[in-house]
Amino acid sequence: MKPDPAAFARLLCGYCLDAQPGQQVVVRSTTLAAPLLLAVQCELLERGAWPLLRTELPGAAEQWWDAASDRHLDGFAAAELAEAEQTDASLSIQAPENTTALAGVDPARMARAARARAPLREAAMRRRWCGTLWPTPAGAQRAGMGTGEFSDFVRRATFLDRDDPAAAWSELRALQERLIERLARACELRIEAPGTDLRLNVAGRTWVNSDGRRNMPSGEVFTGPLEDSAEGRIRFTVPSSPSGVEVSGIELEFRAGRVVDARAERGHGYLLATLDTDPGARLLGEIGIGTNTGIDRPTGAILFDEKIGGTVHLALGRSYPETGGTNESAVHWDMICDLRAGGRLSADGEVIQQDGVVRP
The pairing of strands 24-30 and 311-317 is unpaired
Closer to its own copies at the Cβ: 113 or 302?
Answer: 113
Q: Which of 6, 7, 14, 42 binds its own copies (CB under 8 A)?
A: 42
Helix (H, G, I), strand (E, B) or coil at 14: helix
Write down the least CB distance from residue 277 to its own copies, Å. 26
Closer to its own copies at the Cβ: 31 or 326?
Answer: 31
DSSP 92: E
Site string for its own copies, 81-120 (x = CB under 8 A): -xx--xx---------------------------------
6 binds its own copies, rule: CB under 8 A: no
Closer to its own copies at the Cβ: 60 or 357?
Answer: 60
The pairing of strands 89-94 and 128-133 is parallel
Q: Which of 6, 7, 56, 258 binds its own copies (CB under 8 A)?
A: 56
- Please tell me the distance from the alpha carbon of residue 28 to that of residue 50, in angstroms, as a whole number: 14
Q: Which of 34, 120, 145, 166 binds its own copies (CB under 8 A)?
A: 34
Q: Which of 6, 7, 55, 214 binds its own copies (CB under 8 A)?
A: 55
20 binds its own copies, rule: CB under 8 A: no
DSSP 162: S
Stretch that binds its own copies, among 35-43, 196-204, 234-242, 262-270 (CB under 8 A): 35-43
Q: Specify the amino acid at residue 177.
A: E
DSSP 328: -
170 binds its own copies, rule: CB under 8 A: no
Write down the least CB distance from residue 73 to its own copies, Å. 11
- Please tell me the distance from the alpha carbon of residue 27 to that of residue 41, in angstroms, as a whole number: 9
**Comparing C-alpha atoms, which of 325, 308, 305, 307 is closest to residue 316?**
325
Phi, psi dihedrals of residue 334, rounded to the nearest 5°? -80, 130
187 binds its own copies, rule: CB under 8 A: no
Stretch that binds its own copies, among 55-63, 272-280, 326-334, 352-360 (CB under 8 A): 55-63
Write down the least CB distance from residue 330 to its own copies, Å. 23
Write down the least CB distance from residue 96 to its own copies, Å. 16
Closer to its own copies at the Cβ: 57 or 357?
Answer: 57
1 binds its own copies, rule: CB under 8 A: no
Q: Which of 18, 22, 164, 181 binds its own copies (CB under 8 A)?
A: 22
Write down the least CB distance from residue 98 to its own copies, Å. 15
Q: Which of 1, 18, 20, 60 binds its own copies (CB under 8 A)?
A: 60
- Please tell me the distance from the alpha carbon of residue 258 to that of residue 275, in angstroms, as a whole number: 10
Alpha-helical (H) ranges within the chain are 5-10, 34-46, 60-67, 70-73, 78-86, 107-116, 118-126, 137-143, 147-157, 165-183, 268-275, 302-305
Q: Please, what is the end-to-end C-alpha distance for the chain in angstroms? A: 39
Write down the least CB distance from residue 32 to its own copies, Å. 11
Polymer length of the chain: 360
- Please tell me the distance from the alpha carbon of residue 177 to that of residue 148, in angstroms, as a whole number: 34
Q: Specify the amino acid at residue 81.
A: L
Helix (H, G, I), strand (E, B) or coil at 224: coil
- Please tell me the distance from the alpha carbon of residue 76 to that of residue 53, in angstroms, as a whole number: 19
Closer to its own copies at the Cβ: 33 or 202?
Answer: 33
Neighbouring C-beta atoms of residue 227, cutoff 10 Å: 18
Element (H, E) at 129: strand 128-133
21 binds its own copies, rule: CB under 8 A: yes
37 binds its own copies, rule: CB under 8 A: yes
Binding site for its own copies (CB under 8 A): 21-22, 24, 26, 31, 34, 37-38, 41-42, 45-46, 48, 50, 52-60, 63-64, 67-69, 71-72, 76-80, 82-83, 86-87
